[in-house]
Structure 1
């Protein structure tokens, strides 16, 4: 078996008796084409679309290039369906849900819109321009919701994107198109801050975890904000092997999203009978391991398969470093209590990721095979290695003689679940 690393790979060299199994998702891929799946899902919204007026200003929200959704496939089908309902192209605008990300280039707009580029107006959301934001109110948890003015003033809003696991919002997709997608920086930060329990030293909320929406305060903040907008409907894809669209959920923003999450959880979870001493995980190669922030997703999911004090070998090239200029700076706090205190007083979304990484580095023994400077890897609480052979040699010195291991070839797409 080969494990991807950047644009290369490593061969696994481990006695078969050590391997407890390979953890991988095996979603059902339908014979139906992606275009047919999308058209069928949109047709399920026919009664809602029939209520649109020709004079309505319609805003479609979609994701930026950091989250591939299949937008170049579904946006043309959606817009053409609106045209059939009497909505002219001039009454439709596509807003890119950047959150706090950078603006998109023209080439990136082309990739997102596909054949619609140059036909339908497209605008990047701006989270820091007060003149382009509108205050809607507070969520049940006290998050002040400010969103894109064009979205707030539209007659009809349609949310599009893709459903997948999210390590503290439970799932991505659905309501995330509004918050953080088209929200102010202040609102984005406040919604993510909900991951922490109220009170100094109270730590992370145990409900704010991968694959869980129930009583998840981050999800609740996002759902409350979405309810303020009252979207006409959502259209969310589910992507399978090779980023192929294998399912599409459209309809009421809450129920269609819940159905999609249920489907995704069933298709992309892997049930374990027991945890292992060693988990060897690859992010899946470039671009999934382009930086450490992206690689953390694989680290988070794989940690669910390791026993307390066990060892993880993570293959993540990180050719672009950390993925954020201030990410590594957070590791000047080596004690979790001091880290948490600083995070509460100077919250950053990437600081939350750094905190999560340090927690895992102190709960397990993580050997990172990457291109990052070894001394910086050690500062983050991990052991550096340059190859899988080197990493295995280090791991064997930390493991019991009778250790057992799991291998995860695509760490960012499967969630191990202890049955």
Structure 2
């Protein structure tokens, strides 16, 4: 079996008698035309698009390069529908929902926009430029919702992206395109802070977890913020592990998203009878292992299949390093209580992810196969390796002779659930 790593792969050699199973989503690769799937979804929005009027300014929000969405397929089809309704291309703009991520390169813009590149204006959201932000309201918990001015002042807003699991917002897609996608940094931080329970030392809210929307405080903040912008509709895709569109959901920004989340949960959860001693996880290659922050998702999901004290091998190239300049700085806190206290007093989204990573590094033995400097991997509480063979050799020395293992070839797309 070959496991993806960046743009390449490593062969896995594991004794058959040690292997409990391979954890994969049940969603099959599509047998239909992706363009037809998108067109059928857009048909559900035909009445809404028919209300668009020539001269109106239309903003389409879409995801950055760290998330495979099929935008090069769905954006041209969406623009075609808008043009048929009389919207001129010069009155359309694509805003890339960076949140607090880095700006995109021209090459990345070309990948996102596909054949629209050079025809439709495409800009990156800037979370730290006050002149490009505007406050649109305040949530029930007191979060000031500050968003991209271009989005807020558009006549019509359409949200696009992909639905997948998110380790504390429940699911990606839908409302997340507004907050944190096109929100100011302070709004992003405040909404994500809801992942923590009130009170020092009380840790994470148990409802702010993968695959859960009900009672999830982070999801609630995102929903309230999205309602303030009131998008016309959403177009969200679901992709197979091979990054092909298998479904699309379009319509009301909340109802269509929830429908897509139900579809995703049914096909990308994997029931287990028991946890294993060893879990070998690939993020699924580039871009899912582009940096540590993105790769953490696979670590989070994969841990659900691992017994406490077990060993995880995570294949994550991390060609872009950590994904944020401040992420690694958080690992100066080696004690989890001190880490949490600092996180509460100086909250950062990246600090939350770093805290979650360190929690897992203290609970399990994690061997990271990556291009990162070995001393930095050790500073994060993990064991570095350059190849899968090296990682397996290290893991064998930590495991009992009769260990049992799972393999997860697409760790960023499947959630193991112990029954």
Q: Which residue of 2 aligns with 1:120?
A: 120
Cα 1:354–1:4 change in 2 (3 A) is same
Unaligned regions of 5+ residues in structure 2, if any? none
Query: Could you list the per-position Cα deviations for residues 359-389 of structure 1 after superposition, in whole angstroms to 9, with x for gaps in the alignment?
Result: 0011112122333333332322222334334
User: For residue 405 of structure 2, what is the aligned residue in structure 1?
Assistant: 405
CA shift, 1:42, in A, is 0.8
Deviations 1:88-110 (A, max 9, x none): 32332222212222333333322
Shift of 1:131: 2.2
User: Structure 1's 289 and 90: CA in aligned 2 closer, same or farther, altered over 3 A?
Assistant: closer
| Secondary structure of residue in 2 paired with 1:242 | coil
Task: Give the direction of change, closer, same or farther, for the CA distance of 1:47–1:290 in structure 2 (3 Å limit).
Answer: closer
Residue 327 of structure 1 is matched in structure 2 by 327
After superposition, the C-alpha distances for 1:272-325 in whole angstroms (9 at most, x for unaligned) are 111111111122334433332222121111000011221212222334433333
Deviations 1:40-92 (A, max 9, x none): 11111112122222343222111222223211211111111122222232332
Is residue 229 of structure 1 aligned with residue 234 of structure 2?
no
Q: 2:15 is matched with which residue?
A: 15
SS at match of 1:119: coil
Measured after TM superposition, the shift of residue 209 of structure 1 is 1.2
Mark the CA change 1:134 to 1:323 in structure 2 (over 3 Å): closer, same or farther.
Answer: closer
1:5-404 alignment to 2 at 5 Å?
5-404=5-404
Task: Report the secondary structure of 2:260's partner residue.
Answer: helix
For residue 340 of structure 1, report the CA deviation from its aligned partner. Answer: 0.7
Residue by residue over 1:248-288, the C-alpha shift from the partner in whole angstroms, topping out at 9 and shown as x without a partner, is 10000001000111111112111111111111112233443
Partner Cα separation in structure 2 for residue 259 and residue 383 of structure 1? 40
5+ residue gaps, structure 1, are none
Rounded Cα–Cα distance in structure 1 between residues aligned with 2:412 and 2:104: 24
CA RMSD of aligned residues (A): 1.9
Q: TM-score, normalised by structure 1?
A: 0.94
The SS at the match of 1:417 is strand
Equivalent residue of 1:228, what SS? helix
Q: CA deviation at 1:240?
A: 1.2
**Shift, 1:8, TM fit:** 4.3
**CA-to-aligned-CA distance 1:139-176 (integer Å, 9 cap, x gap):** 12221101112221222211111111111111111001
The question of whether the paired residues in 1 share the 8 Å contact of 2:66 and 2:288 is answered with: no
Shift of 1:38: 0.9
Q: 1:280 to 1:30 in 2, by over 3 A?
A: closer
Larger displacement relative to structure 2 (316-325 or 209-218): 316-325
1:406 counterpart SS class: strand
**Aligned in 2, Cα 1:103/1:192: closer, same or farther, shift over 3 Å?**
same
Give the distance between the partners of 2:170 and 2:136, measured in 1 at CA.
Answer: 24
Name the CA shift for 1:408/1:88 in 2 (closer, same or farther; >3 Å): same
Q: 1:212 offset after TM fit, Å? A: 1.1
- Does the CA-based 8 Å contact 2:157-2:232 persist in structure 1? yes
Question: Matches of 1:154 and 1:285 in 2, distance apart?
Answer: 36
1:348-367 C-alpha deviation (Å, 9 max, x unpaired): 22111110110001111212
Partner Cα distance (2:291, 2:123) in 1: 27
Q: 1:130 to 1:291 in 2, by over 3 A?
A: closer
